[in-house]
Structure 1
Amino acid sequence: MGGISIWQLLIIVAIIVLLFGTKKLRTLGSDLGESVKGFKKAMSDDDNKDNPVVKSVEKNDKE
């Protein structure tokens, strides 16, 4: 009762593809992926900036 079946999901996906088209969805997906990568990079850069111990450990690992 109230669960979504595989057929309902397929119908929703088909409607979305018909509305937006595959090219628009592809570019949307790649833009979203780049945004997530940028966010992760910014978070890791911020963590390294806040914690000087991590910087020294990373510096020693590279040498």
Structure 2
Amino acid sequence: MGSLSIWHWAIVIVVVALLFGGRGKLSGLMGDAAKGIKAFREGLKGDDDVKSNDGVSSLPRTDAEKEELKR
């Protein structure tokens, strides 16, 4: 019971073949993850561009905010 049977080894070999076999599937997955992280960071940097110089957001205003500004 303590040793691995042939089925355990077969599963290990299949998992290793899926991860490292072919044209670098694991490196492709890691590259995709890196692109996602880079896009996320660029998106966070883009939030700083939304605010104008006086610190007021340049996002569209609600009707209540527009009425308040008219006063």
TM-score normalised over the length of structure 1: 0.49
- Mark the structure with the bigger radius of gyration: 2
TM-score normalised over the length of structure 2: 0.44
